[in-house]
């Protein structure tokens, strides 16, 4: 069977996927959204849908993060969760994205008065600690990174990749808390060296990185991702859900993770189905970095090492754990 044959499963999947995207666009057309918000919602909605076609009957199924079809109780009866139900849920979760596009005309300036220039927005910067003057001494084949949260002063905000309009919209999604990823190299004192002086606070160390097995190489993804939220990326046109991570209120803003990545390439291997991937940036497991910083809660299928990283964030009461008693 040739790849161009209509009977080829890849051809059928591509056709169903395009029909799904057309249905999503039709639903969003009626909402009069801004272009930025529209792109973000298209990605979020697509990541929660699965198309199917049986005997010519096309259907969109809303699924959860495990790939299980979702249902809703209507008057004591369990019905299928619809795209309209999903959009209503997203409206409650991301109200900023559902604000209608403004079509205001600019106010004319008074005679002799020049139009006032609009200042640049002020946002929080994410910084990457380069380790200062501390020695970088490896204890093994590779030095382990430490990830911790640092709240910085407000500085002028600029996008690393301004051409990505939908990332700007996604930056508005989460208004609860700001967490900043900061990476450092582990320093090990030399025998007889002078003990370091006291520090303001003790950083939380992430467990030693561990290797993760890869799956089908043909399904691997590699490149510089765009951040939808702290548990979801967009890479090479595909939605990537980080393995073992569930988004939760207080997880932080998408640009926090984008600044941590800092334009670096990530390599993602599929784990099961439903767009779930195990991703690495450099030598770090991205799921562990996110959980270590309170950027989400561990999913039911999270490995012990991922749950241990989340426990560190819980102990420090940061991110999603900041309001825990």
Q: Which domains are seen in the chain, by residue range? A: 9-98 (no CATH), 122-188+203-321 (2.40.50.90)
Residue 117 pLDDT class (50, 70, 90 cuts): low
H or E element that contains 289: helix 286-292
Selection from 84, 104, 281, 257 nearest residue 182 by Cα: 257
What percent of the chain is predicted at pLDDT more than 70? 60
According to the model, what pLDDT value does residue 57 have?
A: 87
Q: Of 10-14, 57-61, 186-190, 206-210, where does mean pLDDT reach its minimum?
A: 186-190
Residue 109 pLDDT class (50, 70, 90 cuts): low
User: Tokens in use for 206?
Assistant: 């992430």
According to the model, what pLDDT value does residue 296 have?
A: 92
Selection from 179, 206, 183 nearest residue 318 by Cα: 179
Separation between Cα atoms, residue 251 and residue 207, nearest integer Å: 20
Bridge-based pairing of strands 181-185 and 226-229 is unpaired
According to the model, what pLDDT value does residue 96 have?
A: 76
Q: Which of 101-105, 109-113, 234-238 has the highest mean pLDDT?
A: 234-238
* pTM for this model (two decimals): 0.46
pLDDT tens for each residue of 282-320: 999 999 999 999 999 999 999 999 999 999 999 998 989
Selection from 9, 33, 21, 84 nearest residue 239 by Cα: 21
- Phi, psi (degrees; rounded to nearest 5) at 13: -65, -45
What percent of the chain is predicted at pLDDT more than 90? 27
């Amino acid at each position: 069977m040739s790849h161009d044959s209509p009977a080829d499963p890849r051809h059928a999947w591509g056709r169903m996927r395009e029909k799904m995207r057309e249905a999503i666009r039709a639903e969003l057309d009626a909402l009069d959204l801004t272009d930025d918000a529209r792109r973000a919602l298209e990605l979020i909605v697509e990541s929660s849908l699965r198309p199917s076609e049986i005997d010519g009957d096309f259907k969109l199924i809303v699924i959860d993060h495990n790939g299980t079809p979702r249902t809703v109780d209507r008057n004591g009866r369990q019905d299928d969760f619809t795209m309209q139900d999903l959009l209503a849920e997203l409206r409650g979760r991301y109200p900023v994205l559902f604000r209608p596009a403004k079509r205001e005309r600019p106010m004319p300036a008074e005679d002799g008065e020049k139009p006032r220039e609009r200042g640049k927005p002020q946002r929080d910067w994410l910084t990457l600690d380069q380790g200062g003057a501390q020695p970088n001494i490896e204890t093994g084949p590779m030095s382990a990174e430490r990830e911790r949260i640092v709240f910085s002063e407000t500085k002028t905000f600029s996008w690393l990749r301004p051409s990505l309009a939908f990332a700007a919209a996604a930056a508005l999604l989460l208004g609860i808390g700001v967490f900043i990823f900061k990476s450092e190299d582990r320093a090990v004192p030399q025998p007889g060296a002078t003990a370091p002086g006291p520090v303001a606070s003790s950083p939380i160390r992430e467990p030693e990185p561990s290797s993760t097995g890869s799956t089908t190489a043909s399904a691997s993804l590699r490149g510089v991702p765009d951040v939808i939220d702290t548990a979801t990326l967009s890479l090479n046109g595909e939605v990537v859900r980080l393995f073992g991570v569930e988004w939760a209120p207080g997880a932080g803003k998408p640009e926090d993770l984008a600044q941590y990545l800092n334009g670096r390439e990530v390599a993602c291997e599929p784990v099961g189905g439903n767009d779930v991937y195990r991703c690495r940036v450099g030598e770090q497991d991205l799921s562990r970095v996110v959980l270590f910083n309170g950027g989400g809660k561990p999913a039911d299928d999270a490995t012990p090492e991922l749950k241990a990283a989340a426990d560190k964030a819980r102990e420090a009461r940061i991110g999603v754990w900041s309001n825990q008693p």
